[in-house]
């Protein structure tokens, strides 16, 4: 069976982190959008309807507050949310897990690790 072509939204304000992620997923055939601010995330959730959201916790506001708001909103949230945290931020990791993040990864994220996590999520859509 061919791999699923997914819609992936990357919400990350650091180009050095986001661009390799975008390139990696686009290079394997996914439709990838990249945004840098919370307001843009909300708009893309409505317009793009991603299957997976890769969300940095340090956007222009608290990324976990955004995650909580969209996770429990009546609109359809993405099938899976992968949270990116700062290294050693165990409090954020624990909170993200409590809120239902599919995965929580510390930056810098290894490309193959992120691809594997997203591939696992896509088996459920």
Task: List the domain range (segments joined by +) for residue 108.
Answer: 7-122
| 86 located within any domain | yes
Tally of structural domains, the chain? 1
| 30 located within any domain | yes
Among 7-11, 77-81, 113-117, the least confident range: 77-81
| 62 located within any domain | yes
| 2 located within any domain | no
| 72 located within any domain | yes
At 75, which CATH number?
Answer: 3.40.50.2300
Q: Does residue 97 register a pLDDT over 80?
A: yes
| 1 located within any domain | no
Q: With residue 65 as reference, give the H or E element that holds it.
A: helix 63-71
Find the mean pLDDT for residues 91-108: 93
Predicted TM-score (pTM) of the model is: 0.91
């Amino acid at each position: 069976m061919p791999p699923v072509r997914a819609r992936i939204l990357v919400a990350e304000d650091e180009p050095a982190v986001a661009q390799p992620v975008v390139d990696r997923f686009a290079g394997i055939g996914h439709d990838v959008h990249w945004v840098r601010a919370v307001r843009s995330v909300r708009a893309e959730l409505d317009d793009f309807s991603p299957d997976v959201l890769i969300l940095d916790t340090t956007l222009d506001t608290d990324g976990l507050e955004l995650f909580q708001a969209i996770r429990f909103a009546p609109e359809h949230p993405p099938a899976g949310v992968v949270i990116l945290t700062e290294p050693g931020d165990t409090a954020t990791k624990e909170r993200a897990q409590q809120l239902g993040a599919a995965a929580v990864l510390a930056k810098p994220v290894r490309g193959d690790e992120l691809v594997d996590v997203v591939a696992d999520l896509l088996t459920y859509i």
